[in-house]
Amino acid sequence: MHKKSFAFFLACLLALSSCSVKEEKDFQRVSFRSLTGWQEEDFKNLYPTLALACKSPTVFYDKFCKGLLKTSPASLKAYLEHNLIAYRVGKKDEFGKFTGYYEPIFEGSFEKTPEFSVPLRGIPKNLVKVNLKDFGKEGYLIGKVKDGHLIPYDAREEIENEKEENVLLYMKNLPDKFILQIQGSGQIQTNKGLVRVGFSASNGLEFKGIGTIMQKEGVLEKGKASMPEIKKWLKKHPIKAEKLMNQNPRYIFFRFLSNEGGPLGTQGIPLTAKRSLAVDTRYIPLGSLLWLETKDGFHGKFNHLMIAQDTGSAIKGKIRGDVFWGTGKEAFAQAGRMNNKGQYFILLPRGVRLK
């Protein structure tokens, strides 16, 4: 579907109206029976995740969620098939890329010490975020004010060299913090107990993947830029690692989150391992139900119902997703190695008509 047509479809969807859009070859209705792995899905264990999401549904799933919360876990499969329609996103032979992310656990301290000296920063006082909708346009601008003008915010290297302001806590080393910034959230074991931190804001500058940077510099072979390999190299070569990390100008600021449940995604709902998906919201609205067909980090089959609950700097494209794998070492093993082609299908409530 052309981007313009797809955008119009989403506008209809968000309005929950009876408007219709032209169905093209790259946006086809399919049967649930044709979805690979649908019959094998664990719907009973899926129910709590959907029920949690349905406590704060997006407007176009509101009626669907009211009915779901009155449905038993044993009846979930039948309820989904009766109340949703599946549409392939993209053409039948069109695939996208699916990666993984996780919630890391690092050591830290609320006091600066020789062992813990790397500041994890909250939002700086001079960061300004402008909602362009206030000016009749789309998107946001992030920057700072200088001499009465809004200018781009500082890049990673500049921020790291600035005075320590609004520091949440201190970490052991730059690679740990860099990985935390890539993942967007994490848990920190501190001298005062375990705390969770999550994304609060960015500096608004372009994201450049560290794997791509390292391959370009010739420090990692092509095809070996998995997160385990990247993490190992960064910690082994701290001086050169800092220079390479600074080639990614994007910088993430954090805030403290509740330790209960999972980390919060962009939608503001706790993420669920192997069920929450980060998407590009230009194509897939947050809160959408998606059937994903791809492979995991060890190339095993991964065919599951997912919920679009998060976003990411590197998640760009009509068929592009990032699977949340959970917390800790096992999640890291999967997320760090997942980089496979796949496709997904958006599951829409009945009432949205395409013709």
Residue by residue, DSSP assigns 236-303 as H-HHHHHHHHTTS---EEEEEE-SSSS-B-TTSSB--TTTEEE--TTTS-TT-EEEEEEE-TTS-EEE
Q: What is the model's pTM? A: 0.81
Same-domain pairing of 71 and 135: no
Instruction: Tell me which of 257, 282, 299 is where a domain ends.
Output: 257
Burial of 72 (0-12, 13-18, 19+ CB in 10 A): exposed
Residue 113 lies in a domain: no
Q: At 48, which CATH number?
A: 2.40.40.10
Check whether residue 76 and residue 12 sit in a common domain. yes
45 and 142 fall within a common domain: no
Q: Does residue 282 sit in the same domain as residue 249?
A: no
Q: Indicate whether 279 and 328 sit together in one domain.
A: yes
Same domain, residue pair 24 and 51: yes
- pLDDT tens per residue across all 355 residues of the chain: 444 445 445 544 544 433 333 344 557 899 999 999 999 999 999 999 999 999 888 888 999 999 999 999 999 999 999 999 999 999 888 999 999 999 999 999 999 999 999 999 999 999 999 999 999 998 889 999 999 999 999 999 999 999 999 999 999 999 999 999 999 999 999 988 999 999 999 999 999 999 889 989 998 877 677 888 888 899 999 999 999 999 999 999 999 998 887 899 999 899 999 999 999 999 999 999 999 999 998 889 999 999 999 998 889 999 999 999 999 888 989 998 899 999 999 999 998 654 4
Domain boundary among 229, 257, 285: 257
Per-residue pLDDT, 58? 85
Shared domain check, 149 and 181:
yes
- Beta-carbon contacts of residue 235 (< 8 Å; ≥ 6 apart): 173, 175, 241
Domain that holds residue 174: 119-257
Q: Do residue 126 and residue 239 come from a single domain? A: yes
Q: What is the pLDDT of residue 2?
A: 43
Judgement on whether residues 141 and 251 belong to the same structural domain of the protein: yes
Which of 230, 257, 284 is the last residue in one of the domains? Answer: 257
User: What is the pLDDT, as a whole number, of residue 214?
Assistant: 92
| Coil, strand or helix at 211 | helix
CATH number at residue 225: 2.40.240.50
Strand partners, 292: 304, 344
Which pLDDT does position 220 carry in this prediction? 82
Residue 326 lies in a domain: yes
The answer to whether residues 55 and 123 belong to one domain is no
- Domains: count for the chain: 2
Q: Does 162 lie in the same domain as 81?
A: no
| Within-domain flag for 114 | no
Please check whether residues 156 and 188 belong to one and the same domain.
yes
Which pLDDT belongs to residue 22? 39
Task: Return the closest-CA partner of residue 127 out of 49, 51, 19, 201.
Answer: 201
